[in-house]
Chain A
Amino acid sequence: GAVVSQHPSWVICKSGTSVKIECRSLDFQATTMFWYRQFPKQSLMLMATSNEGSKATYEQGVEKDKFLINHASLTLSTLTVTSAHPEDSSFYICSAGEASGGAAKQYFGPGTRLTVT
Chain B
Amino acid sequence: QKEVEQDPGPLSVPEGAIVSLNCTYSNSAFQYFMWYRQYSRKGPELLMYTYSSGNKEDGRFTAQVDKSSKYISLFIRDSQPSDSATYLCAMNYGGATNKLIFGTGTLLAVQP
Cβ B43 vs Cβ A104 within 8 A? no
Q: Identify A103's interface contact among B51, B100, B103, CB under 8 A.
A: B51
List B contacts of A106 (CB < 8 A). Answer: 34, 46, 90, 100
List B contacts of A61 (CB < 8 A). Answer: none
What DSSP secondary structure best describes chain B's contact surface?
loop
B45 at the binding interface (Cβ < 8 Å): yes
Question: A43-B105, A108-B36 are contacts. A93–B44 as well, Cβ < 8 Å?
Answer: yes
- What is the interface of chain B, defined by CB distance below 8 A to chain A? 31-32, 34, 36, 41-46, 49, 51, 88, 90, 92, 94-100, 102-105
The segment from A13-21, A44-52, A62-70, A82-90 that touches chain B is A44-52
Interface hits, A1-44 → B, CB 8 Å: 1, 4, 6, 30-32, 34, 42-44
Q: Identify B46's interface contact among A30, A49, A105, A111, CB under 8 A.
A: A105
Question: A93-B44, A103-B32 are contacts. A32–B96 as well, Cβ < 8 Å?
Answer: yes
- What is the interface of chain A, defined by CB distance below 8 A to chain B? 1, 4, 6, 30-32, 34, 42-44, 46, 49, 51, 91, 93, 95, 97-99, 102-111, 113
Q: Which 4 interchain pairs have the tightest Cβ spacing?
A: A99-B96, A108-B43, A104-B96, A97-B96
A58 to chain B, nearest CB (A): 12
B51 to chain A, nearest CB (A): 6
Question: A43-B103, A44-B88 are contacts. A102–B94 as well, Cβ < 8 Å?
Answer: yes
Q: Identify A104's interface contact among B36, B45, B95, B105, CB under 8 A.
A: B95
A68 to chain B, nearest CB (A): 19
List A contacts of B51 (CB < 8 A). Answer: 103
Per the bound structure, the CA–CA distance linking A43 and B23 in Å amounts to 14
Per the bound structure, the CA–CA distance linking A110 and B42 in Å amounts to 5
Q: Identify A97's interface contact among B44, B49, B97, B105, CB under 8 A.
A: B97
Cβ A108 vs Cβ B97 within 8 A? no
